[in-house]
Amino acid sequence: MTEIPAVAPGLYDEMLRGEGARAHYQAYLDWLKKTPDATLEQKHREADTLFRRFGITFNVYGEEEGTERLIPFDLIPRIIPADEWQKLELGLRQRVSALNRFLHDIYHDQEILKAGIIPAEQVLTNQQFQVAMLGVDLPGETYAHITGVDLIRASDGEYYVLEDNLRTPSGVSYMLENRKMMMRLFPELFLSQSVAPVEHYPNLLLDTLQSAIEADSPCVVVLTPGRYNSAFFEHAFLAQQMGVPLVEGADLFVQKGCVFMRTTTGSRRVHVIYRRIDDAFLDPLAFNPDSMLGVPGLLSVYRDGNVILANALGTGVADDKSIYPYVPDMIRFYLDETPILNNVPTWQCRKEEDLNHVLENLHELVVKEVHGAGGYGMLIGPKASRDEIEQFRQLLQQNPANYIAQPTLCLSTCPTMVAEGIAPRHIDLRPFVLTGREIRLVPGGLTRVALRDGSLVVNSSQGGGTKDTWVLEGSPC
């Protein structure tokens, strides 16, 4: 009964191909077609009420303190067949291993710089490069314990890595809550299809964090900036799911070379801090002196190896847009393997040749600031006015090293419930990779969806929504 609109030409749709469905979506589409609109609408309202009641929200900066919003949740899942996921998983493992090797290398022997693979100034003058980390040995040489990798699928049907997030990637709580909601609303779908489980993620995370330090029953905590932070729900959620304390900076203090927390029975030693605050706010003695969020003296304890930070200090240097183009080279250099996942082709404006190409083709490229984030400080060529293009041309000529450029890739679409009914909307995917004694991940990730027609912006802070992500076990190759 439900109508599914056709796919626009030139787009890759996750569910539909030509007149029919892709094989791994067939069973779902059959179900969807015979499900009345009214049922879906009612489930949609139910999900909304439940999310609000559970308080599954994010806080919006720049608005009245404590403004909590729901992230719009879409009922139609993004489905990935098993074989496709297997390839993605291999690619993610490979990528994250190389990134961890890179971080260890640049804070130790800097072989990759000596070999001339990455220009030394790209790394050493990077704002995220932490001199304090030089020569510091971390257990297992692990820097990024938790990595969120943003993937898109382009019109050619191929996946591309858009960005690696190695600081404090968020969203995993929505991945877990979305699954819980779908199982509650549509139990029959889970009975008829084998959707790979993701619910054990908090166990894997706790195990990863505990194994990050050599200690008997190490004390793990989650460090949050507090309940006004946009991702506070996630911080509290993860602490609760792991059964560990959720602490704020003021709960911790440094004494005799160790970190302790204030408890009702006195002070208690802390071994591993899953920190959800940025480097600059971690230790007012070492970094931003005005920060009330961190713990004075934390850095020196950390450098002595008496506490573990996850992720390590200084991981940001590896997820910068100026380093991103080199990740395939890292894979070849450290692992001697061929990269499995594609990078988006990137022109580095600091190279004269690349700059010339970019200046000639501004109207069809996306130009991004190297340190920009959240969709700010960028030019989207095909959508920009003549004036905007000229303005960016000047910016580029003044400071070319501050910019990279990429072709405008069109994100794949997935049918999504919007006000007008079901319509295709652009999506991306953020799987979460855990690095401990081994690299582990749960099948799937967080699928974000741009809810406005034609929009490519999936960020929740800019009105994006989320979908449950299903990896089908034993689905056809």
Partner 1 sequence: MLSRTANNIYWMARSLERAENMTRLLDVSHNMALMPNSRGGQQELLAPLSITGRRDQFHARHDKVSTEALLEFFLFDESNDGSIFSCIQLARANAHSVRDRLSAEAWESINTTWLELRHRRHRSINHEGVKGLFDWIKQRSHEFRGAAYGTMLHNDAFLFMRLGTFIERADNTARILNAKLEVMAGERDSNQAIDFYQWNALLQSLGAYEAYHYSYTGGLSARNVTELLILSAQLPRSLRYCVGAIMEQLSSIEGSQGLAAKRLCSELHARLQYGEVDYILEFGLHDYLNDLLRRINTIGDEIHRSYWEGA
Cβ neighbours, 10 Å, residue 380: 15
| Residue 84 to residues 92, 172, 444, Cα–Cα distance (Å) | 12, 21, 11
251 counts as binding partner 1 under rule CB under 8 A: yes
Among 114, 184, 262, 363, binds partner 1 (CB under 8 A): 262
292 counts as binding partner 1 under rule CB under 8 A: no
226 counts as binding partner 1 under rule CB under 8 A: yes
User: Position 190: which residue type?
Assistant: F
Query: Taking contact as CB under 8 A, which single stretch among the options 29-37, 112-120, 239-247, 426-434 is the one that binds partner 1?
Result: 239-247
Q: Do 235 and 222 form a contact (C-beta atoms < 8 A)?
A: yes
| Residue 404 to residues 88, 255, 320, 329, Cα–Cα distance (Å) | 26, 45, 11, 17
Assign 14 to helix, strand or coil.
coil
Nearer to partner 1, 267 or 455 (CB): 267
Cβ neighbours, 10 Å, residue 154: 18
Backbone dihedral angles phi then psi of residue 150, each to the nearest 5 degrees: -90, 120
Nearer to partner 1, 241 or 342 (CB): 241
Nearer to partner 1, 151 or 219 (CB): 219
Q: How far is the CB of 248 from partner 1 (least distance, A)?
A: 7
462 counts as binding partner 1 under rule CB under 8 A: no
Nearer to partner 1, 264 or 338 (CB): 264
Nearer to partner 1, 270 or 312 (CB): 270
First to last CA, the chain: 29
Among 92, 198, 239, 422, binds partner 1 (CB under 8 A): 239
227 counts as binding partner 1 under rule CB under 8 A: yes
389 counts as binding partner 1 under rule CB under 8 A: no
26 counts as binding partner 1 under rule CB under 8 A: no
Distance CA(58)–CA(70), nearest Å, equals 6
261 counts as binding partner 1 under rule CB under 8 A: yes
Query: Taking contact as CB under 8 A, which single stretch among the options 39-47, 139-147, 247-255, 469-477 is the one that binds partner 1?
Result: 247-255
Q: Which residues contact 343 (CB under 8 A, 6 or more apart)?
A: 160, 161, 324, 325, 327, 328
Cβ neighbours, 10 Å, residue 415: 24
Q: How far is the CB of 243 from partner 1 (least distance, A)?
A: 9
- Nearest C-alpha neighbor of 462 from the set 446, 477, 448, 476: 448
Nearer to partner 1, 68 or 207 (CB): 68
Q: Considering only residues 45-84, where is the footprint of partner 1 by CB under 8 A?
A: 52-55, 66
Q: How far is the CB of 378 from partner 1 (least distance, A)?
A: 35
Backbone dihedral angles phi then psi of residue 160, each to the nearest 5 degrees: -130, 140
Distance CA(105)–CA(83), nearest Å, equals 33
Residues that bind partner 1 (CB under 8 A): 52-55, 66, 226-227, 232, 236-237, 239-240, 245-248, 250-251, 261-267
